[in-house]
Chains A and B, each alone.
Chain A
Amino acid sequence: MTGVARLSAALWRRAWLRAALTLSPPLAWFLVIYLASLVVMLVTAFWTVNPFTNNLQHQLSLTNFAALFDAPIPAIIARTVLIAALVTITDAVIALPFAYFMARVATPRVRNALFVAVLLPLWASYLARVYAWIVILTQDGTLDWTTQHLGLGSPNIAYTNLAMGIVFCYIWLPFMILPIYGAFERIPDSYFEASADLGARNPRTLRSVVLPLVLPGVVAGSIFTFSLTLGDFITPLLIGSGSGTNLIGNVIYDNIGLANNLPFAAALAVVPIVIMIFYLLGARALGAFEAM
């Protein structure tokens, strides 16, 4: 037997070796580039910055984690989680009927058009979409102009937490619609028939058959909307007023660079990680990962 043939025979006999060889490059990439950088960041959170030389001091200390409890950081964390939760709920409420229509009512042609409509904003730059909302929300912007002409006064909500919430809802909506659409699509038609045969009317079918089957899709979508809001720093910088609109993301951003307070930024970055760990554990209990 030639060497190549012998090798291939050996691989064929040992399935575990085949799997190990196929998986090791992506696994190595994942471990070295992805996990290692996370670990380095977590390690940095235990260091401090020398106030005189601005250099990192490689001595273990918990001061950065203690600083997380100093005002106004707890309030900023609470604000971020609250906005992320409200954005998630709003997106779910918008996405549920939309995804239902797409999956179960629309003709294939309309469904394709709606798919394009949902995905189209993702093709444009994030910044362009945020700036578009500044134009809409600012004083004498599109919104003010419209309400003034309708005689409803001028809401003038640019540079507020409400404005940030609206922009987040808009930007992350596709990430909520797609998993819910998938969940709706997977419900077999026979379930509806069976429910009707058993005498259930539409509301009862919706409550007892459809919602339980769609819930994992909603939770899967909420993982995206919640975690993306938790970490975003561009929207608070551009749409927030700076006064009472700081979020975790932009406070981390502010502490890197000129301030060079990498350890504190790393400690603060642990907060969304911990929140997401609990969130994902809860999502798993609700079966969200089967719908992704």
Chain B
Amino acid sequence: MRLNPRIVNSGVLLLLNMVALFTVGILVVIVCLIVLKGITHISLDFILSYPEDMGRHGGVFPSVISTLFLVFLSIAFATPLGLGTAIYLTEYTRESLLTKTIRFGVESLAGIPSIIYGLFGFIFFVTKLKMGWSLLSGALTLTIMILPTIIRTSEEAIKAVPRHLRIVSHSLGATKWETVVKVVLPGAAPGIVTGIMLSIGRAVGETAAVIFTMGSSLRLPTSLFESGRTLAVHFYILAREGISMEKAYATALVLVVSILAVNILAYYIMHKVIAKYS
């Protein structure tokens, strides 16, 4: 017997609706679990005080600072490099074997798992360059890891700037670079910022690449060559070694809320850009 196509059609619609709802439900459940379980153990004091007894008591202040330093440094290194690459690929060359090779490099970097970055950072920055487990080793490793995200989003943003703006700028006698700085980059800025925000989210949540390059010292790092423990690494150690579930939930809350905030802001900016150009 053949089923009536119309009935199948409504059945599928219902099923797909349920699947989509279920998948969004996963996100909602994850966020709710972390927020509800964490909120009772969190306070301003938790964020601003030092941990005691391996994190069993006290707060996460050094981890907050370590995370901020690490993210700031890796973004500061990766943004000029990534933006330079994107500008070169879009404004200074035509599609050729060269650009294809560079794109292949970027795609390959994006596909490499974070533990490989951890291995590489450990052997190259920590051991061979003798930087030790330090903020700098961690930041340099993360720089390479987030570079593909920044390149891709910047490239998309630069490509979206209408072509005629460049032609007008050239016709007024501006050089290529003047056109890039005064016309292209301002137009592409929101898209570039989106890429930076997404990279911040990635860097904040990263564990495997950070733990083997920056180490996990609980002290507040006071120089680039000192080890530190980011929030993600601290959370991993709290949870895996069963040190304290309450503190683990509270740390997870700080982690997840800050990452979601950054990501939502990124999507908001992107949405504004799409609305502007269409």
- A, B: real partners: no
Residues of B within 8 A of A (CB): none
Residues of A within 8 A of B (CB): none
